[in-house]
């Protein structure tokens, strides 16, 4: 083991622009609630960034999904197709509508939803498909949209991890009926908590706006024609978001650079895989994530705790949602081998705008050493200290 001591977090926001100035402005003018003008400015700038007409800011990426599903009319008993390999929020938002998420396995190269497996999950109750741009890698949108058109389904992009990702030269957010983003503290643009719904459809945007603001008639104060929600974004996170967005090209360029360093450092390491990026994709690397072939889950967890001891914070890949207690279905025998393998053997390494070449070199050298140590029965015990 090397004697050098470091601590490298798996993710961290970086504020290099007008964040402080804009937040100070909120405080000095007293505009801290959702009434302040940074919300509208952030929405307009974000819509332009995605190449769409409308953006509706809200308080996080989960409610952004809920708003999109409600705007598209998802209701009780409906089914919505989603990849099983995603953050749980994708499924939860469907459940909030009283609908049922139907899980599809991942595609082995990009790890996004396997479009070839979608069709056989369509039933008369299916209303739409949520494509998740996993870890910043765009899903195969043309194939997904062709199926959706054929069966008259909506498509939502869950682009929570994919600000600035591109599919065939078009931005994430502009590739479906409605798309949603998250600005949680570890995302590519971070506002603490925050989310956005984007769409080209004025009617859907208006519907999302209405639902976001308690359902209040925009022409008649305190008149509520429907039951809405308070899902509004506050002015302070919007001010941070606007400042982050002004620097988004820099944030993405830094992530691409970090990913290139990882690729270079890990190129010769046997048994390590990562998302393969086809020519049509611009991956923006929310997380540089590797899969260690032929490792068991306890061994993977042991690697995580060994790296932690060396000052390197990592994350395991999400559990496939179909395996989580609320979503397990004992009547279902379907297996999801690709998602399960990625989940079991996957680790996300530190990926954020402040990671240096020296950090990546240190991380990869330590990873190599940790992989070379023997794995014992202790794997399970050692991993218990690691709370991801």
Ligand X SMILES: *Cc1c(COP(=O)(O)O)cnc(C)c1O
Q: Contact between 132 and ligand X (CB under 6 A)?
A: yes
Q: 179: closest CA among 88, 58, 35?
A: 58
Q: What is the DSSP string of 14-60?
A: ---SSHHHHHHHHHHHT--STTSHHHHHHHHHHHHHHT-SEEEEES-
Cα 286 to Cα 281: distance, rounded to the nearest angstrom: 14
187 is catalytic: yes
Pick from 89, 321, 342, 345 the residue near ligand X by CB under 6 A. 89
Distances (CA, A) of 203 to 16, 175, 208: 37, 17, 9
Nearest approach, Cβ of 160 to ligand X (angstroms)?
Answer: 3
Q: Contact between 110 and ligand X (CB under 6 A)?
A: no
Nearest approach, Cβ of 108 to ligand X (angstroms)?
Answer: 19
How many alpha carbons fall within 13 Å on the CB side of residue 204? 26
Q: Contact between 157 and ligand X (CB under 6 A)?
A: no
Nearest approach, Cβ of 286 to ligand X (angstroms)?
Answer: 7
Strand runs labelled E in the chain: 54-58, 79-83, 100-104, 126-132, 154-158, 166-167, 170-171, 178-182, 195-199, 272-274, 281-282, 288-292, 315-316, 346-349
Nearest approach, Cβ of 194 to ligand X (angstroms)?
Answer: 7
Q: Which of 187, 247, 294, 295 is catalytic?
A: 187
| Pair type for strands 170-171 and 166-167 | antiparallel
Q: Contact between 158 and ligand X (CB under 6 A)?
A: yes
Binding flags for ligand X, 29-68, as an x/- string (CB under 6 A): -------------------------------xxx------
Cβ-closest position to ligand X:
61
Instruction: Name the one residue in this structure whose structure tokens are 């080209």.
Output: 200
Q: Contact between 275 and ligand X (CB under 6 A)?
A: no
Q: Contact between 86 and ligand X (CB under 6 A)?
A: yes
Q: Contact between 289 and ligand X (CB under 6 A)?
A: no
Q: Contact between 13 and ligand X (CB under 6 A)?
A: no
The residues binding ligand X (CB under 6 A) are 60-62, 86-87, 89-90, 132, 158, 160-161, 182, 184, 195
Residues involved in catalysis: 187
């Amino acid at each position: 083991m090397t004697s050098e001591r470091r601590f490298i977090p798996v993710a961290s926001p970086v504020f290099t622009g007008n964040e402080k100035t804009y937040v100070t402005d909120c405080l000095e003018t007293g505009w801290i609630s959702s009434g302040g003008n940074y919300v509208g400015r952030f929405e307009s700038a974000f819509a332009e960034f995605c190449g769409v007409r409308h953006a509706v800011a809200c308080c996080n990426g989960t409610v952004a999904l809920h708003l999109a599903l409600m705007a598209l009319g998802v209701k009780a008993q409906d089914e919505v197709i989603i990849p099983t390999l995603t953050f749980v929020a994708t499924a939860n938002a469907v459940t909030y509508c009283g609908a049922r998420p139907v899980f599809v396995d991942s595609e082995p190269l990009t790890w996004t939803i396997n479009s070839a497996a979608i069709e056989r999950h369509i039933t008369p109750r299916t209303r739409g498909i949520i494509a998740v741009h996993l870890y910043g890698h765009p899903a195969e949108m043309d194939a997904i949209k062709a199926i959706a058109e054929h069966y008259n389904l909506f498509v939502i992009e869950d682009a929570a991890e994919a600000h600035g990702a591109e599919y065939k030269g078009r931005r994430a957010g502009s590739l479906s009926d409605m798309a949603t983003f998250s600005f949680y503290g570890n995302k590519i643009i971070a506002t603490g908590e925050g989310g956005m719904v984007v769409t080209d459809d004025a009617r859907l945007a208006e519907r999302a706006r209405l639902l976001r603001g308690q359902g209040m008639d925009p022409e008649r104060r305190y008149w509520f024609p429907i039951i809405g929600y308070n899902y509004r974004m506050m002015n302070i996170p919007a001010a941070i978001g606007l400042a982050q967005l002004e620097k988004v090209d820099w944030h993405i360029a830094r992530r691409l650079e970090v990913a290139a360093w990882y690729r270079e450092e890990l190129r010769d390491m046997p048994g390590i895989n990562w998302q393969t990026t086809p020519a049509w994709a611009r991956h923006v690397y929310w997380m540089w994530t590797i899969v260690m072939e032929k490792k068991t889950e306890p061994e993977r967890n042991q690697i995580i705790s060994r790296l932690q001891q060396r000052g390197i914070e990592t994350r395991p890949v999400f559990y496939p949602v179909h395996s989580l207690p609320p979503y397990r279905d004992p009547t279902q025998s379907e297996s999801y081998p690709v998602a399960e393998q990625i989940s079991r053997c996957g680790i996300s390494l530190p990926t954020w705008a402040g990671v240096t070449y020296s950090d990546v070199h240190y991380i990869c050298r330590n990873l190599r050493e940790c992989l070379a140590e023997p794995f014992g029965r202790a794997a399970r015990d050692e991993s218990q200290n690691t709370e991801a």
